[in-house]
Amino acid sequence: MAPPLSDRGDHRPAAKTPAEVWVVKEGRGQPRSDQLATEEPLEIRLLAGRAKQTVAVTMRTPGADFELAAGFLFGEGILHARDEIARIAYCLDAEVPSDQQYNIVNVSLRADALPDLATLERHFYTTSACGVCGKASLDALRVRGCPAAPPGPEVSADLVTSLPDKLRQAQGIFETTGGLHGAALFDAHGDLVAVREDVGRHNAMDKLIGWAFLDGHLPLANHIVMVSGRASFELLQKCLVAGIPIFCAVSAPSSLAVMVARDFGLTLVGFLRGERFNVYTGHERIRLSVLTSSSSA
């Protein structure tokens, strides 16, 4: 049974914030109304028995906050099954001002005591830009017992090149603000399953995986993830933990992202733009019409 959720409220901050801007073109200025991607802090708290502890604060775009909290906790190895959660709710503590209650999410556990948080791989404070990098490592993933990716689906190059346009078309808030990262889940036929947006690419991925975690869809062994930015270690880690064998990004991967993909059998696609892309690892899952070997000039 899924944990009770309460993700609605009259005073919840919106994902978009109106703004007045001056548009300057050829030296002439003109006022115009605009929409900005909202960026506000979200504090994630764990509650068990009489204990309560803040485990992360991240700058995020409001919306799908419970999915973000659940995805973060699952990705960091604090939660393993949705049945561990008794309830997810916004903070209703009397000492918290009403306009801040929707920036604090309480995740209440069924257990009587908090789990060991010593292995939390992200620091107490994370940013929307890139998180606190360096604490997590390949060794940490091995210690956690993360299994290698399953054989997974084989997909055509044409299917892969169709994904960026499908992601952009599904990004509703990006269309009006131009300021959000997107993470989309596709099935092996290239059909969109779910998409999430956020000012932080890690948050967008947490929201996507949190949705799958809370709805009981994990592992996602026959699926593909497409992200709007670059491929980082943390994003590949989240992909691995969720059991997704194919990761695609419109931009470049980092060296550590490639190492994770190689060591755990993931297919990593980068620089996916137009009809061209690079396959850094796991090329056996990409079906090509022609494969030519390199030759010297």
Terminal-residue alpha carbon distance, the chain: 62
Cis upstream peptide for 150 (omega within 30°): no
Backbone angles phi, psi at 193, to 5 degrees: -100, -45
Please report the domains of the chain, with CATH numbers, ordered by start residue: 5-28+37-143 (3.10.20.10), 155-287 (3.40.140.10)
Rounded Cα distance between 170 and 120, Å, is 32
Is 130 known to be catalytic? yes
The catalytic position among 91, 130, 146, 239 is 130
The DSSP code for 232 is -
Residue 133 DSSP SS3: coil
pLDDT one-digit tens code per residue, 48-85: 999 999 999 999 999 999 999 999 999 988 999 999 99
Write down the pLDDT at residue 143: 61
The segments of the chain whose pLDDT lies below 50 read 1, 7-9, 123-136, 296-297
Decide: 264 and 240 in contact? Cβ < 8 Å. yes
Write down the pLDDT at residue 132: 41
